[in-house]
Copies of this chain bind each other. A is one copy, B any other.
Amino acid sequence: MARDAIADAPYPAHPRSAMDGFAVRAEDGVGPRAIVGEVRMGHAPPGAVGSGQAMRIPTGGAVPEGADSVVPVEDADERDGSVVPGEAPQRGYAITPTGEDMRRGDLILRAGIRLDARALGVLATLGITAIPVWRRPRVAIISTGDELIDPDKVPGPGQIRDSNRYGIAAALRGVGAEPVHHPRALDDPAKLEAAIERARAESDAIVLSGGSSVGVRDLVPRAIDRLGKPGVVVHGLRVRPGKPTVLAALDEKPVIGLPGNPMSALMIFRTIAEPIFRRLTGEAEPRGVPAFARAATALVGRPGWTWFVPVNVEIDGVERKIKQLPIRSSHTSLLARADGFVIIPEDRPRIEAGEAIEVHPFLQ
């Protein structure tokens, strides 16, 4: 959502009854009232309520002029066209006054939220049936590597299936971007440059996957640097998995080089790329409630490095216990098995057994 949603009027716009009963004047005390009519749902009251009068009213019905209290039907003794309250009505009882929910001018939803079920319902309540939104950024996906084959082929020696691009595409959709698949680029400088240049012309951002073996490790950053400014900003992160990450830009367009291993690619997408795409889509940081669990055994990282450790979370009575999985960045099976991951920070590379630590989901 690209603009705040403001209440243009008080809600409710008119006083309404919070119960089924009779609209009366409190000042009439416990005396009997003549029933002078009935408020129907969705209609203005058929008239006003005067002294000594009452009007039948349903939950949500508009409170008639003159009435300042509602006697619930279960507290009312009705006979012969009149009604007697069980006790003296309190002024304002069972009436929702104008503006109790929202006042005119109240900020109800902030720009930057995602238009989810809750937001759409709230906007409809406010009468907002159209609101400016940020355009979905188009993000080109290019996988690189001579070893890649299509997923429907059987890998020969040294070959692997080009699978990351499908996970990346779904993850991009999840953050509100529109993924666009581009053909695989071979490990050839001219072809890689041409592929990036094409993607740049058609997209708002580019995600490259793979290209970190010795011969090609520098192909991607070199191609980016040749194509424009500012070029490569970061090449290599002190993280595990995900060290060979490349962060770059061509003019205003982010170019992100994800590692080729599936575990590394998803971890870096989640921790590094996702916040960048969130900026591109205009989405504010989501106000989620973090999930914590206790380390079943000590988790040991490496000083000066940030580790992203895939974990299983096991229920142990009322406790949730974290069980560390190995970081094997090439292992697809680990990716399938993990419930999430924990971060071991560079400045505190040991988390003791029993410590509570945040567990991040793989997908936001």
**A interface residues (Cβ-Cβ under 8 A, vs B):** 9, 11-14, 16, 18, 20, 39-45, 58-62, 73, 96, 100-102, 106, 108-109, 115-129, 145-149, 151-171, 174, 187, 212-216, 260, 262, 266, 287-293, 313, 320, 328, 330-333, 335-336, 339-340, 359, 361-363
Contact = CB atoms under 8 A, between A and B. Distances in A.
Most B CB within 10 A of own CB, among A12, A39, A159, A335: A159
Interface pairs A-B: 10 shortest CB-CB: A121-B167, A62-B158, A124-B163, A62-B157, A42-B147, A20-B214, A117-B170, A289-B291, A117-B171, A58-B213
A197 B108 CA distance: 38
A123 to B, nearest CB: 8
Contacts of A162: 124
Contacts of A168: 117, 121
A122 B336 contact: yes
A332 B160 contact: no
A266 B116 CA distance: 12
Given A13-B154, A127-B154, 12 more contacts: A41-B146, A42-B149, A45-B158, A59-B214, A60-B160, A96-B330, A102-B332, A117-B170, A119-B336, A124-B167, A125-B151, A289-B359
Contacts of A214: 20, 58-59, 73
Contacts of A146: 40-43
A165 B120 CA distance: 9
A320 B123 CA distance: 29
Given A289-B339, A313-B289, A216 B41 contact: yes
Contacts of A116: 170, 174, 363
Query: A interface, by DSSP: helix, strand, loop or mixed?
Result: loop
A163 B361 CA distance: 32
B167 A43 contact: no
B42 A145 contact: yes
Given A151-B129, A170-B116, A215 B293 contact: no
Contacts of A335: 118, 121-122
Contact of A287 (B44, B60, B332, B339): B339
Contacts of A157: 13-14, 43-45, 62
A158 B61 contact: yes
A147 B12 CA distance: 13
Contacts of A361: 288-289
A162 to B, nearest CB: 7
B41 A147 contact: yes
A10 to B, nearest CB: 11
B167 A117 contact: yes
A239 to B, nearest CB: 18
Nearest to A101: B331
Contacts of A331: 100-101
A335 B18 CA distance: 18
Contacts of A59: 212-214
A240 to B, nearest CB: 14
Contact of A262 (B41, B121, B260, B336): B121
A213 B118 contact: no
A166 B127 CA distance: 12
A80 B102 CA distance: 82
